A and B are shown apart, each in its own frame.
Chain A
Amino acid sequence: MENEPLLNSLQTGFPEATIAIGSDWPEMSIESTQLLEVIEKLKGSDNWDFNYLFCETCVDWKTHFTMVYHLSSTQFRHSMVLKAKVDREIPQIESVVKFYKTAEMLEREVYDLFGIQFLNHPDLRRLLLTEDWVGYPLRKDYHDPINMIKL
């Protein structure tokens, strides 16, 4: 589907979500509690068939986090962005590993650098940093007086 019809069909499918065309694809913002049901619907539906998670990352807005999921369909060749707000005090969200196996590594990376706890993740360990690392370096308030020279 092209972006416009995809946007319209998403709007009919999820009337309560905010959807707009972003720089490349339709971007849909949802509540983090709805994540699993939304993804189940996006992946399971015959006219969307979002069967490929090609990027999963996180943004630190200082007041909250946003989890960002880039979904794509290998059948229809359309893509979309899914955004879910995560609380900064209790950084928890459901893992999407049961829908996309690739999320296992992506979520370990996000956990490693942002410290988001993925509920029901099969193996949530640090990925890039050493096992005994303290803190989450891609958070805006991260500070390391030994290795970092602040400018």
Chain B
Amino acid sequence: MDVKVSEPSTPFPGTIHETPGGGILLSSLDDVINWARSNSLWPLVFGTSCCAIEMMSVASAKYDFSRFGFEVFRASPRQADVIIISGTIVNKMAPVLKRLFDQMPEPKYVIAMGACATSGGPFFYNTYSVVKGADHVIPVDVYLAGCPPRPEALLHALITLQEKIKSGLTREQIRSKMSEEYGK
């Protein structure tokens, strides 16, 4: 049976020049730092409702996001790099979320998981207590649709975040690049 070895989607940034007795690696420091950063993102323990159950299953043995460098949940914002907003954000929780985000050291990233965190979702209409999208409170890097999203979808969002970090681009740069590409 043939075993197909596929290339990783983003290989190590840089080129190797073979020389006798070894090799010389050429790269830019920014690229190497971003590459290292993207492969070691520790999420904060933060789950406000049902989406958190899916997030926990992504962390556990069956899906296991440690494979992609998301290693361990940290219970302190000072040790965390990424906050996965998994669940509904209510008005009373919003200041807490803001404070946790402020306490995280730079660089920090945010994934809005599920309909609630992206827009208020099922609680958009006729509720007095729900924030209509976590991006009213803190800036969000990756939005993830679903109610709740499947674990595979969260893995995809995490990998998307890694790709964003590796590219080293801001949201505006990504947007203008995409509109060039698709001619929009």
Residues in chain A within 8 A of chain B (CB atoms)? 129-130, 137, 142, 144, 147-151
Contacts and interface: CB of A to CB of B under 8 A. Distances in A.
A149 B126 contact: yes
A145 to B, nearest CB: 11
Binding site secondary structure of chain A:
loop
B127 interface: yes
Contacts of B126: 148-151
Q: Which 5 A-B pairs have the closest CB atoms?
A: A151-B125, A137-B128, A144-B128, A147-B128, A149-B125
Binding site secondary structure of chain B:
loop
A60 to B, nearest CB: 14
B124 interface: yes
B115 to A, nearest CB: 15
B4 interface: no
Interface in B116-143: 124-129, 132
Contacts of A149: 124-126, 132
A75 B174 CA distance: 67
Nearest to A128: B92
B125 A137 contact: no
Nearest to B92: A130
A147 B125 contact: no
B91 interface: yes
